[in-house]
Structure formats: C-alpha cells, structure tokens
Amino acid sequence: MPPSSGPRLSGMQKQVLNLYRGFLRAARSKSAEDRPKIESIVFVEFRHNAKQVDRKNFIYIGYLLHRGKKQLDQLKSLDTISLSSFDLGLPQTKHTKH
C-alpha cells in the first residue's frame, strides 16, 4: 500500500468535509457578487462548530450534518440566490452529552 498523505479520517469526519466541499461547489453556481458572502458564511459556521462542539458528541454532530445537508439542498436550488446567517446570542459553551 502507498503511504497515506495524512491521518485517516473517520466516517463522520469525511461527511463533514464532503458537506463543506458541497457548500463551496454550490457557492460557485451563484452570482459573482453572492459567492464571497456565501463562502464567508460557510467558513465561519464550520470554524465556529469545529471550535465549539465536543468532537465526541456524535449525536449533536449528526444533527448538524443533517441540518447542513438540508441547507445545502436549499442553496443548490435555482430559486435560492444567497445564504444568510444570524447569531442567536447563545452562550459560547461546548455542547456535550449529559
């Protein structure tokens, strides 16, 4: 076997990366004015979740993946021209299982 180019990713990590790539691909199909805004929102959301969500909270990560796939489907729609984000003002704590 050839040497790997990096650490092996779990199935869930692969799903997250595929979702991120899907958003970036969908952004390319939007207007030149909307593309940077969409890419910025996607980057900020993924970075925020990477920092705030406990990596072992598989249930919550699964929920975020499900929600992200629905949002990606909406973004892929020809009727959707842009993407928006809003801050609910929730506390900046790690989401953990109880």
Its pTM stands at 0.75
The Cβ of residue 83 has, within 10 Å, a number of other Cβ atoms equal to: 21
77 vs 93, which has greater pLDDT? Answer: 77
89: its two tokens: 């003002």
**pLDDT of res. 83:** 63
Dmax (CA) of the chain:
49
**pLDDT of res. 85:** 57
Domain range list for the chain: 11-76
The per-residue pLDDT for range 34-84, each reduced to its tens digit, is 999 999 999 999 999 999 999 999 999 999 999 999 999 999 987 766 665
Give the separation between CA 18 and CA 79, rounded to whole angstroms.
23
Give the separation between CA 29 and CA 78, rounded to whole angstroms.
9
